[in-house]
Amino acid sequence: MTTNAELFERAQRVIPGGVNSPVRAFRAVGGTPRFISRADGPYMWDAEGQRYIDYIGSWGPMILGHGHPAVLGAVQQAALEGFSFGAPTEREVELAEEILSLVPSCEQIRLVSSGTEAAMTAIRLARGATGRSKLIKFEGCYHGHADALLVKAGSGLATFGNPTSAGVPPEVVQHTLVLEYNNLEQLEEAFRLHGPDLACVMIEPIAGNMNFVRAQVPFVRRIRELCDQHGALFVFDEVMTGFRVALGSAQSLYAQAIPGFAPDISVFGKVIGGGMPLAAFGSSRRIMGHLAPLGTVYQAGTLSGNPIATACGLATLREIRQPGFFEALSVKTRRLVDGLKAAADASGVPFSVDSQGGMFGFFFMPELPQNYGTVMTTDQARFNRFFHGLLDRGVYLAPALYEAGFVSAAHTDADIDATIAAAREVFAHE
């Protein structure tokens, strides 16, 4: 039997850091990454045969769990028909119709291969449609690794951001303003200073890359008002929240709280691909008309609308729209976080939790944070002990303090009970 440590040593010789996406390297929590050999339902098994209750779910897509029969059957049939054609297919149209039927803010949608690609092109589309260059994003929101979006907050109020990655020249992000999440004062000031030049505001409505932080309703309402007043477009990045927190995605939750609310451009990923590389962005017919081949905003992709990925995504969406699906998933997720909270409280550990649909987060602090700066004050060492304590007991959480967690329809009450019991043991040693 090959061990995780042996595989990691081997991987580091041929792959930078031994991983193909940085968070998988366990650098934030320490220890050896688990090399997964297979998965089924709510479980994953590593190279050493250890089983884990999986709360990563491939970082969100596996809302049905691994290997759901309907999804597996659709993918197997699609594979028999052909891997890729480089030409249109009926299934692309079916998937687009399925997504649009659940998202009233979009009249047309373009399929791509990754969330990064979708977010990057949404920005390009907003700039092309408005004829403007500047954009606003919020610190702690991750929109993929496109150059213009790899920025951190500047040093003053409503300042332009600074690159957070080597290889991104400062002039590439000179048009990107980075503001504090949920900060109305900075938002007002940014529009006062730059309103006529702003192409768009991009936000994660529930930021899943600072664990789980909601955009407050008054904040979202004010962004919508300011965008309307100044002719900027409001971009909802729902790569993580899309069809994961509600059937109509996060925007449907804000529409319930803000009459008439809708974003101008929506970005989707993860769940719509069911675990395959697939993402999308959509908007009104007028705005989407700026895209090639109709307009002058260029975007293309060899594997866009891949027939196997669309089969996987279409089967997933058809399952999650079954009556009662999200109600049951929400109850299950809330039961998990409430149980973790009770276990922490019993041991006197400061702990706060939140969840929506099948997405959840927790913080080692007494109250839920509202922005990235507060999230950064979380006790990293305590989280690392908690992570490894659960991992040793067969529970796999994200190996980083700043990542949300995900529950699937395949998780059972017994899985959640086992997770809470494991947490209780770990907290007892704090």
Predicted TM-score (pTM) above 0.85: yes
Q: Is the pLDDT of residue 157 over 50?
A: no
Predicted confidence at residue 171, as pLDDT, reads 84
Q: Is the pLDDT of residue 116 over 80?
A: yes
Please tell me the distance from the alpha carbon of residue 224 to that of residue 184, in angstroms, as a whole number. Answer: 12
Mean pLDDT of the region 109-134: 98
Residues 177, 117 share a domain: yes
Would you state the pLDDT for residue 167?
Answer: 87
Number of domains in the chain: 2
Q: Is residue 400 part of a domain?
A: no
Neighbouring residues of 37: CB distance < 8 A, sequence distance ≥ 6? 45, 46, 47
pLDDT digits (tens, 9 = 90+) for 199-255: 999 999 999 999 999 999 999 999 999 999 999 999 999 999 999 999 999 999 999
> Same domain, yes or no, for 186 and 107?
yes
pLDDT in tens, 360-419: 999 999 999 999 999 999 999 999 999 999 999 999 999 998 999 999 999 999 999 999
391 backbone dihedrals φ, ψ, rounded to 5°: -60, -40
What lies within 8 Å, CB to CB, of 166 at 6+ separation is none
DSSP type of residue 296: S
The angle that helices 184-194 and 217-230 make with each other, rounded to 10 degrees, is 10
Kindly state whether residues 154 and 257 are assigned to the same domain.
yes
The sign of the dihedral angle between the CA atoms of 162, 164, 167, 172 is negative
SS3 for 75? Answer: helix
10 and 100 fall within a common domain: no
Mean pLDDT along residues 34-63: 98
Q: How does DSSP assign 9-73, residue by residue?
A: HHHHHHSGGG-SSGGGG-TTT-SPPP-EEEEEBTEEEETT--EEEESSGGGTT-TT-BT-HHHHH
Claim to verify: residue 3 and residue 142 sit in the same structural domain = no
Note the pLDDT tens digit of each residue in 286-315.
999 999 999 999 999 999 999 999 999 999
Looking at residue 173, its pLDDT comes to 86
Is 412 a member of any domain?
no
Say whether pLDDT at 152 is over 90: no
- The range of the structural domain enclosing residue 191 comes to 69-320
pLDDT for the residue 108: 98
Residue 158: predicted pLDDT: 42
Task: Please provide the DSSP assignment of 308-329 as one string.
Answer: HHHHHHHHHHHHHTSTTHHHHH
User: Chain-wide mean pLDDT for the chain?
Assistant: 95
Q: Establish if 423 belongs to a structural domain.
A: no
Q: Do 75 and 21 lie in a common domain?
A: no
Predicted confidence band of residue 154 (pLDDT cuts 50, 70, 90)? low
CATH no. for residue 119? 3.40.640.10
- Give the integer Cα–Cα distance in Å for 237 and 82: 31
Q: Is the peptide bond before 170 cis (omega within 30 degrees of 0)?
A: no
What are 53's strand-pairing partners?
A: 43, 395
Can you tell me the mean pLDDT for 323-334?
A: 98
Between CA 333 and CA 359 the distance in angstroms is 7
Active site residues: 142, 237, 270
**pLDDT greater than 90 at residue 163:** no
Owner of token pair 């081949």: 293
My answer on whether 196 and 94 are in the same domain is: yes
- Both structure tokens of 350: 């400061």
